[in-house]
């Protein structure tokens, strides 16, 4: 199930070692956090000397050492989960039901379960460390009403702590999904790891403090209402008595205990801090720059060189790091730039430049097509467009017209060319294991397919591909069904029975065998429309299936960091070639690069005219989730303009001699006059 | 070899206006009008001080006039918390002794005293923190006498003939050679503008350092609107990062760095994504001035203490440069980014630092010019003193130095001294002359045009609200290239000063 099967050299040689180093550092940081926790949890204002000596004694006690060993294990597991679940392309659910599907996905359930267990273990450690009344689960009863003298009673404080740990583990896992905590974003500037860690440490501490406060609030409310269930369950299974003389903790008097809340909050902060530190270190290590050689003298290293790595589709993180390296080398290292512009020794072909520019261009072209198709899908808005009618809107040069009519779903998912893998931006790890939601929610056209109430034109296309599914309109994309993920059974089960189970969903027993519209399929179609119009009047269904604002736009640009680097790399290389390219290898590709960028510029401009595309998302503060993917489209737009301006300002009047279409020339003229 | 002001030709008498430099000497006349027009003449603007009304700011004393004092304690506390934070809340509680229990009044009074003591201790370490933010901007701005200056900021567009002017009334006007409309930018948050800069490799983005935040305007150059809406502006802010006194775009146009004297971290912004990375180092107590070298490799960051830092932009590490006398007041980079000239408050010299890619580099700054006060007998005028700001023209041949005068004495005005610079065989400054404006007008702010074809063009904002442009005609070392329209921004390594082959583009 996990990526141990992957044998990409990069994962083996680089990513794993980075992950191991990050875990090692988190383990090394444990004693520090434990010490701070001990001092804070036993804080006593009026007896400072007693406080310090007690804490020092506790730090060397056997129980603390045991807790430390246990925590090491927890950190190892957490680090392993970070490695398994991270992604460089966020998965953006476009509807609430898709989000629900993500939460209830088996893979996510494993994550939640493990985090619950870890949370419980950690809060057990915390309870033992704090000691006092939290120490053990059972305690001798203070008041024996009957003759049996050695009755053990339930220590509810201990139970309260354990459940709090489990709750925090689950909420950590849940928030991780909602806020895309597994998304690893790359920094705009490069910093050394230590300095980056130091710089982000205050934010992490603030995050864990604030999150722990929220968690405590939610947990206390939950326990107030439902606390008796686990308590009675534990009592009956372990045959423990309830101490009648004490307040039960699900009463107001029991919960309004300041020291209890303080301890709960401190241990919650401790718990989250350990996890967040692990996540932070992992992010810092994974996104560290990796310098790929541009060319190698040895044949066996050839597939580790930049041109090969860029075109390979083995691992998304490798591709991202390679693009980052390209952007950096094009900007900072003249020696490596020379290697890019160099000719192969026998033959004299600019293989390096050709491979790099081709890959960058195919990335950018693919984004253009994606945008054009999205725009057409939105613009058609209910009208059924024929293939011929839509071709005229995609005058985007090379290959825009081939995508227009089909909306790319089938096209995108099945194209064998290597560059197309990035269109299903879920990383290979996900594909290898589940292949379900994670890889599909960001599939390019989900925004328009996932709502059952979207335009009939799109639905017709989707229906044509997946007529056997009654839910074809609501799932993210047809290939979920093909892969047979159990997502939908899971999520429908969880919905309230009254709304979904009673709704008459027609189950087609046999899929229509022939593509010609038979009477039966026609009838089914009509029934489906009726069912949908019936459902669309239900508030809950509308709530679940309505598209989240901006989500479609965010999903379109989910992997745009790659495009930004491609643009930076290409434009810097072109600008450098003006003085450094001795053989003129770049000149031959200049027209295609220019027209590619200008076409993309056109598509981006049109995209930003759509509603929701240009509205800025609200920034969520105090969360470890990285929300930088929400603004990637703006970053891409700015990077694209800067790239074109970099080329025009470098080449100046010489660009007039480049062969491009008159329309692009007009656009280019605008750029040269600084009027864009 | 050190250049000093006594080597300069004596400044022209008051009433004469410096018009241009040709054939190696500065030409002046009695009025700015007797001067033939070139192909595009940047408009000489005039913003009289009297016509501009400074924005009236809500004073803390006027608050009492509006606040309803019959509010409940809760309402007042909430208001105080919102307006002035924790100290305001404590102050409110302490002052309403009759409504709250005695222990609360006493304890909040104690906490307030403790807070004040701590902040005064912090202030004694870094005296600039006791200034109000207006005073802070005036203290650290590159503009001489910022608080009473009609023109508070000026910025040439790096690629086209377009410039933006920030005025005393917190508005910004944009003048373009190709269009007759001059858009005026106003924004609710655009208060006490300390600096502004156009984004390189972009036609429209203008960053403005404001009182509480950083505004990035996107002014569509093709638009005919004279009042772009505030929707065209992005507001970037970070808690604790105000007032912003200095901003700098990276020459590649991808990053923006902002600095505030009250914040020890300088922010590196990804403007499009509105994210920032704080770069924090201990010591200094804030960052007052940011200057990005033209090649993009280094950033100068001056602090309010006697310390400045030079960051390299590859991995964002910094070198510390402690100064002996005072804080670094101003600095400028040579076009190839290898040499930094800076001046220190309290000293009347210009220092030079040379950077090489090899490890080590120079260990100490060298004094390259002595600017101590010199009296010229024929005009009975004294010039010299501390440096307010430095500007180096993009071809690296002229260095303009804005020297502070003595406000008490009429014979010691602030003045712009212009040096010729030579990099080979050794780096040295040679005297060129003084730039003077109309009678009674003192220079406040200056900037070189980033791509003037025929030499260098210095734009000066004067105390009387006039903006004038002084061209320096000389042929650049890479002169053959300058005929092309958009010549590539290759750093010109000036081989020698081309004084002897100056050809006059100007004919009288």
Per-residue pLDDT tens digits of chain B, which is 508 residues long: 588 898 998 888 888 888 888 888 888 888 766 555 555 577 788 888 778 877 665 444 455 555 555 667 788 788 777 776 777 788 888 887 777 788 888 888 898 888 888 877 877 788 888 888 888 999 999 999 898 889 999 999 999 999 999 999 999 999 998 888 899 999 999 989 999 999 999 999 999 999 889 999 999 988 888 999 988 999 999 888 989 999 999 999 999 999 999 899 999 999 998 889 999 988 888 999 999 999 999 999 999 999 999 999 999 999 999 987 889 999 999 999 999 999 999 999 999 999 887 665 567 888 999 999 999 887 688 998 999 999 999 999 999 999 998 888 888 999 999 999 988 788 889 999 999 888 888 999 999 999 988 889 999 999 988 999 999 998 876 443 333 333 333 333 333 333 333 333 333 3
Pairing of strands B3-4, B366-370: parallel
Interface residues on A facing B, Cβ-Cβ cutoff 8 A: 187-192, 195, 199, 331-332, 568, 572, 575, 578-579, 616, 619, 628, 631-632, 634-635, 637-639, 641-642, 645-646, 648-653, 672-676
A649 and B268 within 8 Å at the Cβ level: the answer is no
| C-alpha–C-alpha distance, residues A437 and A485, integer Å | 8
Residue B276, CA distances (Å) to A188, A628, B76, B244, B495 in order? 9, 11, 35, 14, 40
Contact B417, B400 (CB under 8 A): yes
Going by C-alpha positions, the residue among B402, B464, B472 that lies closest to residue B438 is B464
| Same domain as A202, residue A76 | yes
- State the best of A188, A558, A627 to mutate against chain B, taking most chain B CBs within 10 Å: A188
| Same domain as A207, residue A261 | yes
Taking one residue from A and the other from B, the number of pairs with CB-CB distance under 8 angstroms is 103
Smallest CA–CA distance from B253 into chain A, residue: A642
pLDDT of residue B1: 59
Whether the upstream peptide bond of residue B243 has omega within 30° of 0, thus cis, is yes
pLDDT digits (tens, 9 = 90+) for A434-456: 333 333 333 333 343 344 344 44
The band of A28, judged by pLDDT with boundaries at 50, 70 and 90, is: very high
| Same domain as A165, residue A115 | yes
pLDDT of residue B96: 79
Round to the nearest angstrom and report the end-to-end CA distance of chain B: 36
In-domain check, residue A405:
no
Contact B192, B134 (CB under 8 A): yes
pTM: 0.82
What lies within 8 Å, CB to CB, of B146 at 6+ separation is B137, B138, B152, B194
Per the structure, how many domains does chain A have? 2
ipTM exceeds 0.90, yes or no:
no
Neighbours of A518 (CB within 10 A): 12
User: What's the DSSP call for residue A555?
Assistant: H
| C-alpha–C-alpha distance, residues A619 and A183, integer Å | 16
B201 and A650 within 8 Å at the Cβ level: the answer is no
pLDDT of residue A454: 41
Determine the average pLDDT of the residues in A211-225: 94
| Same domain as A222, residue A275 | yes
Q: Which residues pair with B267 in a beta bridge?
A: B258, B278
| SS3 label, residue A65 | helix
- State the best of B251, B254, B263, B312 to mutate against chain A, taking most chain A CBs within 10 Å: B254
Neighbours of B444 (CB within 10 A): 27
- In terms of average pLDDT, the best of A189-193, A612-616, B28-32, B355-359 is A189-193
The band of A508, judged by pLDDT with boundaries at 50, 70 and 90, is: very low
pLDDT digits (tens, 9 = 90+) for A307-358: 999 988 888 999 999 999 999 999 999 999 999 999 987 788 899 999 999 9
Closest partner residue to B272 (CB to CB) among A190, A619, A637 is A637
B253 and A632 within 8 Å at the Cβ level: the answer is no
Dihedral angle computed from the Cα positions of residues B369, B370, B375 and B377, in that order, rounded to the nearest 10 degrees: -50
Q: Which residues of B touch A578 (CB under 8 A)?
A: 488
pLDDT of residue A438: 38
| B486 interface with A at CB cutoff 8 Å | yes
Neighbours of B128 (CB within 10 A): 19
Could you tell me what percent of chain A has a pLDDT over 70?
77
| SS3 label, residue B215 | strand
| B235 interface with A at CB cutoff 8 Å | no
pLDDT of residue B83: 72
pLDDT of residue A619: 66
Min distance B153 CA to chain A CA atoms (Å): 23
Domain endpoint, select from A270, A287, A304: A287
- Among A108-122, A463-477, A645-659, the minimum mean pLDDT is found in A463-477
A199 and B270 within 8 Å at the Cβ level: the answer is no
pLDDT of residue A200: 92
pLDDT of residue B99: 77
A649 and B488 within 8 Å at the Cβ level: the answer is yes
B272 and A645 within 8 Å at the Cβ level: the answer is no
Expressed as residue numbers, the domain containing A228 is 11-141+151-287
Could you tell me what percent of chain A has a pLDDT over 90?
47
Smallest CA–CA distance from A580 into chain B, residue: B490
pLDDT of residue B181: 87
pLDDT of residue B39: 53
Sheet holding B3-4, edge to edge: B3-4, B366-370, B349-354, B339-344, B328-333
| B125 interface with A at CB cutoff 8 Å | no
- State the best of A189, A334, A574, A615 to mutate against chain B, taking most chain B CBs within 10 Å: A189
B486 and A646 within 8 Å at the Cβ level: the answer is no
Residue A511 reports pLDDT greater than 70: no
Domain endpoint, select from A265, A287, A309: A287
| Same domain as A340, residue A283 | no
Residue A499, CA distances (Å) to A453, A473, A627 in order? 18, 18, 34
| SS3 label, residue B9 | coil
Going by C-alpha positions, the residue among A518, A444, A524, A451 that lies closest to residue A479 is A444
Q: Which residues of A touch B313 (CB under 8 A)?
A: 189
Min distance A171 CA to chain B CA atoms (Å): 26
pLDDT of residue A505: 40
Residue A395 reports pLDDT greater than 90: no
- State the best of A206, A330, A572, A642 to mutate against chain B, taking most chain B CBs within 10 Å: A642
Q: Which residues of A touch B201 (CB under 8 A)?
A: 641-642, 645-646, 649
| Same domain as A236, residue A349 | no
| Same domain as A189, residue A93 | yes
- Among A167-181, A237-251, B32-46, the minimum mean pLDDT is found in B32-46
A649 and B486 within 8 Å at the Cβ level: the answer is yes
Residue A149 reports pLDDT greater than 80: no
B315 and A192 within 8 Å at the Cβ level: the answer is yes
The band of A386, judged by pLDDT with boundaries at 50, 70 and 90, is: very low
| SS3 label, residue B271 | coil
Residue B495, CA distances (Å) to B29, B479, B498 in order? 33, 12, 9
Residue A398 reports pLDDT greater than 90: no
- State the best of A573, A577, A638 to mutate against chain B, taking most chain B CBs within 10 Å: A638
Determine the average pLDDT of the residues in A398-415: 37
| SS3 label, residue B185 | strand
| B490 interface with A at CB cutoff 8 Å | yes
| Same domain as A329, residue A283 | no
pLDDT digits (tens, 9 = 90+) for A355-384: 999 999 999 999 999 999 999 988 876 444
| B406 interface with A at CB cutoff 8 Å | no
B221 and A653 within 8 Å at the Cβ level: the answer is no
Helix (H) or strand (E) holding B375: strand B374-376
Domain endpoint, select from A258, A287, A316: A287
Whether the upstream peptide bond of residue A461 has omega within 30° of 0, thus cis, is no
Residue A474 reports pLDDT greater than 70: no
B272 and A631 within 8 Å at the Cβ level: the answer is yes
In-domain check, residue A479:
no
| Same domain as A207, residue A72 | yes
A675 and B222 within 8 Å at the Cβ level: the answer is yes
pLDDT digits (tens, 9 = 90+) for B319-373: 999 987 889 999 999 999 999 999 999 999 999 999 887 665 567 888 999 999 9
| Same domain as A368, residue A271 | no
A190 and B490 within 8 Å at the Cβ level: the answer is no
Residue A239 reports pLDDT greater than 90: no
| B487 interface with A at CB cutoff 8 Å | yes
Q: What is the mean pLDDT of chain A?
A: 79
Contact B325, B387 (CB under 8 A): no
- State the best of A674, A675, A676 to mutate against chain B, taking most chain B CBs within 10 Å: A674
| Same domain as A83, residue A226 | yes
pLDDT of residue B57: 54
Min distance B201 CA to chain A CA atoms (Å): 5
SS in 3 state form for B273-340?
CCEEEEEECCCCCCCCEEEECCCCCEEEEECCCCEEEEEECCCCEEEEEECCCCCEEEEEECCCCCEE
| Same domain as A342, residue A280 | no
pLDDT of residue B426: 85
Min distance A675 CA to chain B CA atoms (Å): 6
């Amino acid at each position: 199930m996990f990526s141990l099967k992957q044998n990409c050299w990069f994962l083996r040689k680089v990513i794993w070692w980075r992950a191991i180093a990050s875990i090692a550092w988190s383990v090394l940081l444990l004693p520090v956090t434990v010490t701070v926790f001990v001092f804070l949890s036993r804080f006593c204002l009026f007896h400072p000397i007693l406080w310090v000596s007690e804490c020092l004694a506790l730090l060397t006690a056997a129980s603390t050492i045991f807790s430390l060993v246990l925590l090491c294990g927890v950190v190892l597991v957490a680090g392993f989960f970070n490695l398994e679940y991270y992604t460089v392309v966020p998965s953006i659910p476009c509807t609430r039901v898709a989000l629900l599907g993500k939460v209830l996905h088996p893979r996510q359930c494993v994550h939640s379960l493990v985090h619950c267990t870890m949370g419980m273990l950690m809060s057990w450690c915390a309870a033992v460390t704090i000691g006092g009344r939290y120490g053990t689960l059972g305690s001798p009863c203070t008041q024996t009403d009957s003759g049996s003298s050695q009755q053990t009673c339930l220590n509810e404080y201990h139970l309260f702590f354990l459940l709090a740990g489990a709750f925090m583990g689950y909420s950590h896992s849940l928030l991780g999904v909602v806020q895309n905590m597994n998304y690893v974003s790359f920094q705009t500037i490069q910093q050394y790891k230590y300095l980056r860690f130091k710089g982000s440490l205050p934010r992490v501490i603030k995050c864990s403090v604030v999150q722990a406060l929220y968690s405590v609030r939610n947990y206390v409310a939950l326990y107030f209402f439902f606390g008796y269930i686990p308590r009675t369950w534990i009592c009956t299974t372990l045959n423990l008595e309830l101490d009648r003389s004490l307040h039960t903790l699900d009463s107001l008097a029991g919960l309004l205990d300041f020291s209890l809340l303080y301890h709960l909050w401190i241990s919650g902060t401790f718990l989250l801090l350990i996890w967040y530190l692990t996540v932070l270190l992992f992010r810092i290590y994974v996104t560290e720059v990796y310098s790929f050689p541009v060319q190698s003298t040895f044949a066996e290293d050839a597939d580790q060189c930049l041109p090969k790595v860029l075109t390979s589709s083995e691992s998304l993180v490798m591709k991202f790091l390679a693009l980052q390296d390209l952007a950096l080398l094009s900007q900072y290292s003249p020696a490596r730039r020379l290697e890019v512009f160099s000719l192969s020794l026998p033959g004299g072909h600019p293989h390096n430049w050709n491979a790099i520019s081709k890959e960058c261009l195919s990335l950018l072209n693919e984004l253009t097509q994606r945008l054009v198709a999205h725009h057409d899908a939105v613009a058609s808005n209910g009208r059924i467009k024929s293939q011929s009618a839509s071709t005229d809107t995609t005058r985007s040069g090379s290959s825009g017209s081939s995508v227009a009519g089909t909306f790319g779903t089938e096209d995108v998912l099945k194209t064998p060319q290597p560059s197309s893998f990035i269109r299903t931006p879920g990383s290979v790890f996900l594909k290898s294991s589940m292949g379900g939601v994670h890889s599909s929610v960001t599939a390019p056209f989900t925004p328009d397919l996932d709502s059952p109430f979207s335009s009939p034109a799109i639905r017709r296309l989707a229906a044509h591909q997946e007529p056997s599914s009654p839910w074809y309109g609501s799932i993210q994309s047809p290939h979920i069904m093909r892969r047979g993920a159990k997502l939908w059974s899971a999520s429908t089960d969880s919905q309230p029975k009254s709304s979904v189970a009673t709704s008459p969903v027609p189950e087609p027993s046999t899929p229509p065998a022939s593509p010609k519209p038979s009477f039966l399929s026609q009838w089914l179609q009509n029934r489906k429309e009726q069912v949908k119009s019936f459902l669309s009047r239900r508030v809950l269904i509308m709530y679940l299936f309505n598209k989240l604002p901006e989500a479609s736009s965010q999903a379109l640009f989910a992997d745009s960091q790659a495009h930004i680097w491609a643009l930076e790399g290409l434009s810097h290389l072109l600008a450098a070639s003006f003085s450094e390219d001795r053989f003129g290898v770049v000149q031959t590709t200049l027209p295609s690069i220019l027209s590619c960028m200008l076409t993309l510029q056109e598509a981006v401009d049109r995209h930003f005219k759509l509603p929701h595309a240009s509205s800025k998302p609200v920034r969520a503060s105090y969360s470890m989730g990285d929300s930088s993917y929400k603004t990637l489209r703006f970053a891409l737009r700015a990077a694209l303009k800067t790239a074109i301006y970099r080329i025009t300002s470098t080449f100046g009047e010489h660009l007039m001699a480049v062969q491009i279409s008159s329309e692009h020339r007009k656009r280019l003229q605008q750029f040269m006059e600084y009027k864009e | 070899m050190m250049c000093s002001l006594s080597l300069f030709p004596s400044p022209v008498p008051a009433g004469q206006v410096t018009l241009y430099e040709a054939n190696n000497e500065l030409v002046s006349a009695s009025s700015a009008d007797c001067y033939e027009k070139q192909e595009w003449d940047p408009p000489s603007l005039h913003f009289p001080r009297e016509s501009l009304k400074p924005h009236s700011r809500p004073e803390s004393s006027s608050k009492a006039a509006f606040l309803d004092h019959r509010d409940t304690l809760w309402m007042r506390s909430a208001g105080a918390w919102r307006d002035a934070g924790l100290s305001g809340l404590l102050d409110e509680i302490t002052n309403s002794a009759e409504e709250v229990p005695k222990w609360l009044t006493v304890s909040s009074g104690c906490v307030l005293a403790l807070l004040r003591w701590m902040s005064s201790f912090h202030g004694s370490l870094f005296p600039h923190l006791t200034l109000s933010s207006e005073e802070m901007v005036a203290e650290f701005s590159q503009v001489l006498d910022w608080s009473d200056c009609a023109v508070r900021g000026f910025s040439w567009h790096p690629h086209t003939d377009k410039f933006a002017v920030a005025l005393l009334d917190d508005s910004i006007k944009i003048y373009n050679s190709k269009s007759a409309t001059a858009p005026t930018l106003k924004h609710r948050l655009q208060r006490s503008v300390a600096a502004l800069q156009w984004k390189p490799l972009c036609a429209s983005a203008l960053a403005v350092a404001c009182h509480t935040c950083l505004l990035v305007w996107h002014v569509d150059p093709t638009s005919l609107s004279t009042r772009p809406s505030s929707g065209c502006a992005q507001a970037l802010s970070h808690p604790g990062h105000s007032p912003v006194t200095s901003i700098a775009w990276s020459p590649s146009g991808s990053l923006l760095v902002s600095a505030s004297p009250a914040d020890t971290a300088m922010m590196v912004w990804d403007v499009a994504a509105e994210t920032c990375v704080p770069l924090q180092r201990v010591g200094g107590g804030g960052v007052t001035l940011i200057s990005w070298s033209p090649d993009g490799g280094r950033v100068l960051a001056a602090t309010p203490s006697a310390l400045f830092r030079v960051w390299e932009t590859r991995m964002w590490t910094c070198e510390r440069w402690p100064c002996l006398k005072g804080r670094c007041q101003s600095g400028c980079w040579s076009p190839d980014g290898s040499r930094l000239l800076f001046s220190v408050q309290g000293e009347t010299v210009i220092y030079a630092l040379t950077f090489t890619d090899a490890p080590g580099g120079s260990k100490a700054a060298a004094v390259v010019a002595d600017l101590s006060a010199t009296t010229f007998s024929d005009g009975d005028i004294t010039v010299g003193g501390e440096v307010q700001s430095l500007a180096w023209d993009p071809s690296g041949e002229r260095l303009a130095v804005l020297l502070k005068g003595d406000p008490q004495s009429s014979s010691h005005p602030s003045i712009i001294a212009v040096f010729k610079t030579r990099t080979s065989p050794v780096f040295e400054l040679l005297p060129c002359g003084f730039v003077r404006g109309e009678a009674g007008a003192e220079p406040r702010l200056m900037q070189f045009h980033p791509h003037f074809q025929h030499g260098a063009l210095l734009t000066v904002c004067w105390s009387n609200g006039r903006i004038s442009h002084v061209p320096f005609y000389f042929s650049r070392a890479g002169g053959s290239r300058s005929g092309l329209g958009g010549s590539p921004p290759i750093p010109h390594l000036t081989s020698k000063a081309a004084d002897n082959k100056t050809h006059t583009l100007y004919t009288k």
